[in-house]
Structure 1
Amino acid sequence: MKLHELLKRCEDVANNPNKYVIEWKAKTGRKAIGGVAPFPPDEIIYAAGALPVTMFGGAVAPTDAYKYFPQFYCSVVTTSLQLGIQGSYRELSAVVAGCCCDGLKDFVENWKSAVEIPIIDCIYPANRKLEAARVYFTKELRQASERIQAITGHKTTDLDLQHAITLHNEHRAVMREFAEVAVDHLDIFTPTVRHNVFKSALFMDKAEHLELVRSLIDELKARPVYDFKGVRVISTGIIIDVPDILKMLEENNIAIVGDDVVQESKRYETDTPNGIDLYYQIATRWSNMEGSSLLFDVEKKRGTMLLDMLKNRKADGILYVLLKFCEIDEFDYPIMKQIFREAQVPELFLETENVYSNDQQAATRIQAFKEMVGK
């Protein structure tokens, strides 16, 4: 496939994941299982013979979901429930929810009441560095795996799980490489186009997406480096799946040259290590992950990691995309803001949600940021 065909494939899947899931199921004869954001256990879903489909909600008014949630819950959980109620997830045989915040805990119980699709809860321990937490999480993963296997009808072997871990590690590595290579081709990778590559990975078979991105990288390496004259930013947050904001960035000649967004690069920073007990190794990956408001960290290494990325990618500033009503991210922001201020790094703060439409306040902020940077 040529470059434009590869990008079109990413765009099509990102914009119509249901179509991809239907076609994949028809082609393979296997089931699809949803994994609720932020970090679902994709490997154990894949090892059980199913397609992992990551759920970050979507651009839909959560009218029915508000019968179960107060209106001050984040749009990831409210719109995910809304999509479940209205039948948008009908191609999924089950949903796995990795509870790591209060909103997700409530989501599990509300889903049981509102949606017929079975939901499997898998508790992610907050104090991740303790050995007891890894042991506990290993038990949670085993229990979730057994329930997934009962739904798929496929008994997961150690070979199945090892294959899934190897594949996902290879996919993580190629996504990290893509994020670096894309910086040299900002004439092609506008914020929207870049986002489509990451978003399509949430729904596609990892083996297929791995080959697609490898081909994409090969195409890019054959092209000359583009000398981008606009503003270069590092984005951070939970989601940036807001077409209007991405378009506003493009209109102001602002490019994303790196990120630690949970929906994008954060998912691929940390590999699952090798070891004898494969479930324990997946639990260890959770323990090893760093640099997100969703990952308990008293040292707040996220700020330092962002500043290092800003320096390495020669960025002009930080784009902080705060998920509205996400208490965890809201608590983190003042600390991050102070770190950026002390480092004298320009920062663009935007508050977003899945149900977001055109916002002139965001447009004004983006224009002011560009003028502040002076490009």
Structure 2
Amino acid sequence: MGKQLFRYSEENKERFLDSENITFNDGSVVTPEEIWHYLTVEAPVKYPSAFEINLYQGNRGSRDETLPTSLKTRYLGLTFSARMERAKDNGKSIAFIQGGQAVDPYTAADTIALRPGLVNQWNNGLEYGNDINKENLRRKKSKEKAFHDMSFEACQTGGYEHVQAGNLRIDVIAPYTVLRCSDVSYGVEAHRHGPNKDVKLLNVDFPLRNQADKPWAIEYFAKNLRRLVQTLDEVTGRTTTEGDLLQAIKLHNEGRRLGTELAELWWSADIPPTNSDDRASLVSLGNLETHGDVQASLSVLKEAKKFIAERVKNGVKGHAVIDNPKRLFILGSCVGINGSRSEDAGAIVVGRDDQWSHCSSLVEEEGDPYYNLAKTTLEYPYEQGIEKRAQWTIEQIKKSRADGVIFIHNWGCNTQAAISRPIVDIIKRETGIPTYIHERDLHGLRDEQEQNRVNAFIEML
């Protein structure tokens, strides 16, 4: 018996076709008609796992089809692997980076920057026809090999297995080290011993916490950013100027401003204007790197703000969200909860600290762009000491009017595991909001035990 697949309804086609094109970095465009055809004809055949109605991945019998942005972010996600392959065929340089960092210098150097999740997404999209279970089994097999080559104690492998196997044409591994986790830094070193000798390696050394107000640390990190751009130029054969970096900063500041405005607009609504998953995809657009194409993300983001403003004004409630849901704020790196099942239990996710920290951090546009970028990066709230990070988190919790906080850390994520307890203790002490800490396996499907615990926390609220 075949798996039940979700299908977009023809009833919503006309409204979607009235929306705007997506414009890409290379100047090409894709029309709403082309997007609709892909989502209704091509994608269900190529990627049935993405359309499978399966509670474990959070799929409902229907999605919010009346929000054009939801369909467009879906399109960008499903075409990601093909677009990366096409970019490489056209001579584009691609770099592996750390999660939680802005990508301004990579954009300036005409390089696509991919964090670990996007590297895995690229690889996953190379194989067609898998259902959810087959896709999960495939991922687990490749991860096991990587853990064997690196360390079973690592929380994740950062796409090590794909790069070293030669599945992905990544030119340079150049993340900011020590930013939010130690495993990616360890992974960079592990690549030195792998069979793929063609990939360039660079540690962009990030000074540890509590250095943001020290001039030497800013200057030191600025020099590392210059080394980064020089390394990227060695790959591309071009020369990146300070003017190029300034233009990239202005471009990304535009995305960060729009992302911040959109999040605050969402928070201002008495009635949640989208569900949890759509809220997350909207805000992530602000970093402009989620879909491997800065201009595509920006064009979708600009249009999204109009749609959300209209919904907030008219009191439109997000798809399948109950009246007066309990509002959850999620903390931790590379984590999230099953949005639709949590909504079925009476809650909605109103925010996450991961990715939001650097989206809400604007870079000064006057003066030395390397110095300004280094200073802002050192000031990321997520990267501060426990007390400062907790105080910033409390501010976000209050803005979002959250009723409860869940701190999730993946097994092996030493940094987040170590700080989870003191951070939630400070939050509970100063706000009185209930908190819950959960450890999970990064690579499995969202299992029933985890959802039972989340549901119990929601019921308590």
Q: What TM-score results when the alignment is normalised by the length of structure 1?
A: 0.87
Q: Deviations over 1:135-154 (max 9, x none)?
A: 11111111111110111122
Aligned residue type for 2:275: T
Give the number of aligned pairs: 360
Bigger radius of gyration among the two? 2
Question: What is aligned with 2:99?
Answer: 38
1:54 aligned to 2:125? no
Aligned pair in 2 of structure 1 residues 165, 353: CA closer, same or farther (>3 Å)?
farther
Question: What is aligned with 1:324?
Answer: 411
Aligned pair in 2 of structure 1 residues 41, 153: CA closer, same or farther (>3 Å)?
farther
Q: Deviations over 1:272-304 (max 9, x none)?
A: 1134221111111112221x2xx1426x12222
User: What is the deviation of 1:51?
Assistant: 2.3
Aligned residue type for 1:84: V
What stretches of structure 2 of length at least 5 have no aligned partner? 1-18, 21-65, 121-135, 318-322
Please say if residues 44 and 164 of structure 1, whose CA atoms lie closer than 8 Å, have aligned partners that are also in contact: yes
Cα distance in 2 between the residues matched to 1:204 and 1:168:
14
Question: What is aligned with 1:98?
Answer: 176
User: What is the deviation of 1:185?
Assistant: 8.7
Percent identity for Structure 1 against Structure 2: 19
Cα distance in 2 between the residues matched to 1:328 and 1:218:
38
Q: Deviations over 1:322-373 (max 9, x none)?
A: 2321111111111122123323211233323430213222111111111111
Q: What TM-score results when the alignment is normalised by the length of structure 2?
A: 0.72
Cα distance in 2 between the residues matched to 1:13 and 1:352:
28
Alignment of 1:351-366 (within 5 A): 351-366=439-454
Aligned residue type for 1:283: A
Question: What is aligned with 1:311?
Answer: 398
User: What is the deviation of 1:212?
Assistant: 0.9
Residue of structure 1 aligned with 2:241, choices 152, 157, 160: 157
Question: What is aligned with 2:328?
Answer: 233
Residue of structure 2 aligned with 1:218, choices 281, 301, 306: 306
Q: Deviations over 1:149-206 (max 9, x none)?
A: 1111221122211110100111111111222233439666322223333556423322
Ranked by relative contact order (alpha carbons within 8 Å, sequence separation 6 or more), the top structure is 1
Aligned residue type for 1:54: R
Please say if residues 11 and 197 of structure 1, whose CA atoms lie closer than 8 Å, have aligned partners that are also in contact: no
Partner SS for 2:144: coil
Partner SS for 2:207: coil
Cα distance in 2 between the residues matched to 1:186 and 1:359:
30
Aligned residue type for 1:314: R
Question: What is aligned with 1:178?
Answer: 262
Cα distance in 1 between the residues matched to 2:425 and 2:304:
38
Cα distance in 2 between the residues matched to 1:252 and 1:38:
30
Partner SS for 2:357: helix
Alignment of 1:125-274 (within 5 A): 125-127=207-209, 128-129=211-212, 130-183=214-267, 184=269, 189-198=274-283, 201-223=289-311, 224-226=314-316, 228-240=323-335, 245-261=338-354, 264-274=355-365
What stretches of structure 1 of length at least 5 have no aligned partner? none
Question: What is aligned with 1:70?
Answer: 151
> Larger strand proportion, structure 1 or 2?
1
Partner SS for 1:203: coil
User: What is the deviation of 1:240?
Assistant: 2.4
Please say if residues 94 and 119 of structure 1, whose CA atoms lie closer than 8 Å, have aligned partners that are also in contact: yes
Residue of structure 1 aligned with 2:205, choices 83, 100, 123: 123
Aligned pair in 2 of structure 1 residues 213, 185: CA closer, same or farther (>3 Å)?
farther
Partner SS for 1:202: coil
Please say if residues 116 and 158 of structure 2, whose CA atoms lie closer than 8 Å, have aligned partners that are also in contact: no
